Amino acid sequence: MPTNPNPFLDIQRRTPITAPHHGWLTSPARSHANVGQGSELPLHLIALILSHLDNVADLARITRTSRLFYYMTLPRLYEEVTLRSYSEIRYVNGRPEGYGNGSPFAMGLNTLVSRTFTDYVQTFRVIGDWREHDIEDYSKGRVPDNSMMLQVAMRAALDKMKNLQTFAWELNTKPMQTIYQGIMTKPSLTSLTLRCQTKRIPRPTALIPPLPNLKTLIVYDMDPLCYPDDISLLLLTSKKLENLMLHWSPRMRESGEESVNLMNYFGRCLAARYAVPAKRLALYNLYARNTGEGFENCLDASSGEEITVINCMGSSDPMTVFLDDTWRVNSNHKIPERLKMMRGDIVDKEHVTMLAKFHGLERLYLLSRRKTSRGSSTAATPTTPSVSTPSNCTSTNGAPFTEHQCKSLAGDYLAIIASNHRTMRHLLLLDNWQLSDGALLKLCQSCPDLEQLGFSSGVPPLGFLRQCLSLVPKLWALRVLIRPGSDLAEKLDSIEFEMHQFALATELWRPEYKNLRYFGLGDKYTFKLGGVVFPPKGSQANIPDGQANSMNARKMGPIRVMRRIEREDVKHVEIWCMDSTEFEPKFP
């Protein structure tokens, strides 16, 4: 049995390391005397089995099973390394975490520096809160010793990572020039994530050096008053950059503080007449003036395929309207020729005009509500919409619409989708746009390739709903949106869950729903659909346990097996996972 390859993993796992030796997973070259009692598998099949393990604790246990597994699993164990720092000491069974040694963060970093496992590291991420001591040293013109020691130790670990592809610095203290010099020597690095500090403590700033092979850049919590590093040279020299995500602190927009100057980020690109070839662009909380100096020329419109804009331009809030209006006045934006996805919380006439200038959009996600988070403002006040038409709605940027304006705006969006974007595969509409039966039918007729659909409507006749779904045979995920606080939401809440399940199960068995795998009713109920069962008359046989009670004493016919699931279980389905204004430092 080999010695412990990683003491940090032992601390994090906190479970006994016991793994039986299975004869059927042995190799003739490294087997014990009784290997003949078990079947032997070729090494490539063992490697295939091990490739399906993704839990760190399981991989650590496998390395302790045999010498063969140690050498086969160790590269997998260290492919992705995440070190998390905590601002306070955590306790396990009454003892500090790391009792008898250093903290898990320190011991993990020590393992990377002192052992040879760094050859396997491809993704390295440090996150959490680093406890800085003697921060008053910053005001005296020098970096505190414990922060400097962190930078030196991190640089030592980075220098040993020969195959590093992804690096994420998400500590609450910023990296210094020594870290940037370390990653500059990594030609294999293709992804960089930086978290900016949020405290106005004077710190040294750095000009981030060129990373010529960089494909993904994520910078978040940017605040010009908190000494962020300069990314302008990085944007200019990253000729292969495909994914760009920029997140500013929501503080500026909430307080109406004009401190962001886009030329600080794109000035070098503008001077060099260079357009960043980003395929996927995401902007959060942008509150800056459009001076008309040609910002739209800094992004290559011919390369853009996906755009996400959340809590940015377009607000009618008196606190921010003066700067936001500059984006309407200087609206010489080029339309991406290959745009396939749009996601955002801006719903206005200008957006409709933009959608009318091109064809072929495949995914459109209109976010209905704001959620309190790092990346967004608070939710808009719920309103009570009409039963058959979109009315009494509030724009997602906070500007109120009259009933006529809301109906007109919803109609404009649906008309543009039906005429220019019949290729639509994913469509998520606002939950206060209650579509009439005719509008829903026209939408399904115009977009036969729909695979995921989220819409709000009244309660249409079931026969009509089947007619609509027969027009979209590829549909496998459906959400019926219900605005919280509306009359319909209160009515549905007054009905027991079993009644909802029974009504859906006796309807969704029909052939028109055969491809449907996920069904959502408001934010409260989400179901995963199974097969169709045919219970004998007067019997509960073949009825799933969760549906038997609701169907008791009823005349039974064919029913659809339905299992209620949580929001976490549909995080891979876009009309659920993309329906959030909360910021996450990754591309979905």
Q: How far apart are CA 367 and CA 347, in angstroms?
A: 9
State the number of CA atoms in the 13 A half-sphere of 153 facing the CB: 17
Residues contacting residue 18 through CB under 8 Å, at least 6 positions apart: 61
Per-residue confidence at 134, pLDDT binned at 50, 70, 90? confident
Q: pLDDT, tens digit, for every residue of 345-369?
A: 888 888 898 899 899 999 999 998 6
- Range of weakest confidence among 244-253, 325-334, 561-570: 325-334
Angle, helix 403-420 to helix 437-446, in steps of 10 degrees: 20
Mean pLDDT of the chain: 83
Query: Taking 70 as the threshold, does the pLDDT of residue 557 lie above it?
Result: yes
Q: How far apart are CA 274 and CA 235, in angstroms?
A: 10
Convert 424-447 to b/e letters by CB count within 10 Å (16 or more is b).
bbbbbbbbbbbbbbebbbbbbebb
Query: Taking 60 as the threshold, does the pLDDT of residue 549 lie above it?
Result: no
State the number of CA atoms in the 13 A half-sphere of 130 facing the CB: 25
The pLDDT, as a whole number, for residue 325 is: 77
Q: Where are the beta strands (DSSP E) in 358-420?
A: 363-366
Per-residue confidence at 402, pLDDT binned at 50, 70, 90? low
- φ, ψ dihedrals at 563, nearest 5°: -125, 125
Query: Taking 80 as the threshold, does the pLDDT of residue 459 lie above it?
Result: no
Among residues 444, 436, 437, 438, the alpha carbon closest in space to that of 418 is found at 444
Cβ proximity of 518 and 477 under 8 Å: yes
Amino acid sitting at position 517: R
- φ, ψ dihedrals at 201, nearest 5°: -100, 125
Query: Taking 60 as the threshold, does the pLDDT of residue 140 lie above it?
Result: yes
The pLDDT, as a whole number, for residue 556 is: 63
Q: How far apart are CA 134 and CA 144, in angstroms?
A: 6
Rg (CA), the chain: 28
3-state secondary structure string, 332-374?
CCCCCCCCCEEEECCCCHHHHHHHCCCCCCCEEEECCCCCCEC
The mean pLDDT of 79-98, rounded to a whole number, is 92
Query: Taking 60 as the threshold, does the pLDDT of residue 512 lie above it?
Result: yes
Cβ proximity of 570 and 518 under 8 Å: yes
The pLDDT, as a whole number, for residue 502 is: 87
The mean pLDDT of 156-180, rounded to a whole number, is 96
Q: pLDDT, tens digit, for every residue of 208-227?
A: 999 999 999 999 999 999 99
Q: Is the dihedral of CA 300, 311, 198, 174 positive or negative?
A: negative
Query: Taking 80 as the threshold, does the pLDDT of residue 482 lie above it?
Result: yes
Q: How far apart are CA 77 and CA 459, in angstroms?
A: 52
- φ, ψ dihedrals at 192, nearest 5°: -135, 130
State the number of CA atoms in the 13 A half-sphere of 32 facing the CB: 12
- Secondary structure (DSSP) of 68-81: HHHHHHHHHHTSEE
Among residues 106, 111, 97, the alpha carbon closest in space to that of 131 is found at 106
Q: Is the dihedral of CA 317, 320, 324, 325 positive or negative?
A: positive
Amino acid sitting at position 55: N
The pLDDT, as a whole number, for residue 403 is: 57
The mean pLDDT of 332-356, rounded to a whole number, is 86
Q: How far apart are CA 380 and CA 2, in angstroms?
A: 58
- φ, ψ dihedrals at 127, nearest 5°: -135, 165
The pLDDT, as a whole number, for residue 400 is: 55
The mean pLDDT of 451-474, rounded to a whole number, is 87
Q: Which residues pair with 288 in a beta bridge?
A: 260
Convert 270-279 to b/e letters by CB count within 10 Å (16 or more is b).
beeebbbbbb
3-state secondary structure string, 537-563?
CCCCCCCCHHHHHHHCCCCCCCEEEEE
Query: Taking 70 as the threshold, does the pLDDT of residue 418 lie above it?
Result: yes
Amino acid sitting at position 375: G
Q: pLDDT, tens digit, for every residue of 14-53?
A: 333 334 444 444 444 444 454 444 457 888 898 898 888 8
Q: How far apart are CA 349 and CA 408, in angstroms?
A: 10
Query: Taking 90 as the threshold, does the pLDDT of residue 572 lie above it?
Result: yes
Furthest C-alpha separation in the chain: 85
The pLDDT, as a whole number, for residue 421 is: 95
Q: How far apart are CA 445 and CA 447, in angstroms?
A: 6
Averaging pLDDT over each range in 135-139, 356-360, 543-547, which range is the top one? 356-360
Query: Taking 90 as the threshold, does the pLDDT of residue 3 lie above it?
Result: no
The mean pLDDT of 154-161, rounded to a whole number, is 96
Q: How far apart are CA 25 and CA 327, in angstroms?
A: 63
* Token pair listed for 271: 């001077």
H or E element, residue 463: helix 462-469
